[in-house]
Amino acid sequence: MNTGKDVYILGIESSCDETAASVVKNGREILSNTVLSQIDIHRLYGGVVPEIASRNHVEVIDKVVQTALGDARVTLDDLDAVAVTYGAGLVGALLVGVSYAKGLCQASGLPLVAVNHIEGHICANYLTYGDLQPPYTCLLTSGGHTAIVRVLDYTRYDVRCSTVDDAVGEAFDKVARVLGLPYPGGPQIDKLAQIGNPVYKFHSVVTSNGNFSYSGLKTAVINLLHNGAQRGENINAADVAASFTRAAIDGLIDRLHQETALGEVRTVAIAGGVGANSYLRCRMKEFERDGLRVCMPQLSLCGDNAAMIASRGYYSYIEGDFADGTLNACPTLRLRGERPRK
């Protein structure tokens, strides 16, 4: 499929509470990147309400796609394919993007490419580092997934370890909620942690067999706050945020050190919404001191966006790996080798 000509992919993303579309050239160059967030709506409810998310996607998806095409100064005739997230995520939300993309391909004759959202997050690195090539090792930290993944090539992955229960982003959001912080909690905890001291010690999130577990950490924070309240103690929220952040991130970094100590790794990368966390980004610099290359997507590409979907779509496109009209949403889609969650 690689004919040497430039390839323009329209990416579409609607797996959660962002409706996004983007045009990316050759998997690397962002020509447009439109993200319409529903955060303000869901904040009223303290988290994403799936039905409201789907309805909002339906209302704005066409406008978002038209904006992305306009910003990139292209028309459908200039495109080579449409790439759409088909999992993992909220089923109703995913269905909006999948149905829209199928309709667009049916009407325009463009080929359809199905993209795993998590693989998209990994590809955000290619949009920030034009020269990055596999193999490398990626620490994947999002609202629904937590894993260390060996990226073997652009479309093949080896999951080294993953969470056995909650994802790290989910833990950030839940702890933020018990601290009374607004949704989404991750960025709020990040801010609060910067003015707190990590005075509370929590168990490691690394399990005895080298996977991750976040449900115990979440419960430990809730117990700390409840027991403190019962004893009438004044527990400083910033100290809790700082202590939780360290526990949540230190285990990931420790486990990544174990991987890099195996000696085959020359580059480490991060991916997913928690990749925006300032403490995580700071600790990643340790790997530079070990002589490794450290890749961290720019902040605007850590969270959900469609440029990363278009980038991942490009690599399926050049392999000739296309979907058809039978494509369906797959809410529980995982990377091959990733543990099914409890």
Min separation Cβ 49 and ligand KG4, Å: 16
Q: Which residues bind Zn ion (CB under 5 A)?
A: 142, 304
Among 87, 134, 185, 196, binds ligand KG4 (CB under 6 A): 185
- Closer to Zn ion by Cβ: residue 170 or 304: 304
Dist CA 83 CA 48 (whole Å) = 24
Residue 187 makes contact with ligand KG4 by CB under 6 A: yes
- Candidate ranges 4-12, 23-31, 270-278, 285-293; the one touching ligand KG4 (CB under 6 A): 270-278
Residue 97 makes contact with ligand KG4 by CB under 6 A: no
**Subset of residues 109 to 128 that bind ligand KG4, contact rule: CB under 6 A:** 121
Q: Give yes or no for a contact between 276 and 143, defined as CB atoms under 8 angstroms apart.
A: no
Instruction: List CB contacts of 115: < 8 A, sequence separation 6 or more.
Output: 11, 83, 84, 85, 86, 309, 312, 313, 316
Closest CA to 172 of 82, 248, 236, 269: 248
Closest CA to 317 of 52, 61, 84, 57: 84
**Subset of residues 10 to 39 that bind ligand KG4, contact rule: CB under 6 A:** 16
Dist CA 68 CA 12 (whole Å) = 10
Dist CA 172 CA 184 (whole Å) = 9
- Candidate ranges 185-193, 205-213, 218-226, 236-244; the one touching ligand KG4 (CB under 6 A): 185-193
Min separation Cβ 284 and ligand KG4, Å: 13
Min separation Cβ 181 and ligand KG4, Å: 10
Among 172, 244, 287, 315, binds ligand KG4 (CB under 6 A): 172
- Candidate ranges 30-38, 69-77, 124-132, 273-281; the one touching ligand KG4 (CB under 6 A): 273-281
Among 11, 92, 111, 273, binds ligand KG4 (CB under 6 A): 273
Residue 297 makes contact with ligand KG4 by CB under 6 A: no
**Subset of residues 313 to 332 that bind ligand KG4, contact rule: CB under 6 A:** none
Min separation Cβ 72 and ligand KG4, Å: 23
Please report how many Cα atoms fall inside a 13 Å half-sphere around the Cα of residue 41, on the Cβ side.
Answer: 16
- The count of other CB atoms within 10 Å of the CB of residue 100 is 22
Strand order across the 8-13 sheet:
29-37, 18-25, 8-13, 81-87, 112-116
Binding mask 127-156 for ligand KG4 (x = CB under 6 A): ---------------xxx------------
The listed partner (Zn ion, ligand KG4, none) that binds 274, CB under 5 to 8 Å by sort, is: ligand KG4
- Closer to Zn ion by Cβ: residue 142 or 162: 142
Residue 250 makes contact with ligand KG4 by CB under 6 A: no
Dist CA 89 CA 74 (whole Å) = 29
Dist CA 15 CA 85 (whole Å) = 7
Min separation Cβ 243 and Zn ion, Å: 26
Residue 277 makes contact with ligand KG4 by CB under 6 A: yes
Among 119, 165, 166, 173, binds ligand KG4 (CB under 6 A): 173
Closest CA to 130 of 286, 25, 210: 25
Closest CA to 134 of 158, 161, 115, 114: 158
CA angle 205, 207, 213 (to 5 degrees): 45
Binding mask 193-232 for ligand KG4 (x = CB under 6 A): ----------------------------------------
Q: Are strands 8-13 and 81-87 parallel, antiparallel or unpaired?
A: parallel
DSSP result, 198-253: --S----SB-TTS-B--HHHHHHHHHHHHHHHHTT----HHHHHHHHHHHHHHHHH
Q: Give yes or no for a contact between 157 and 337, defined as CB atoms under 8 angstroms apart.
A: yes
Catalog residues that contact ligand KG4 under the rule CB under 6 A: 16, 121, 142-144, 169, 172-173, 184-187, 190, 272-274, 276-277, 303-304
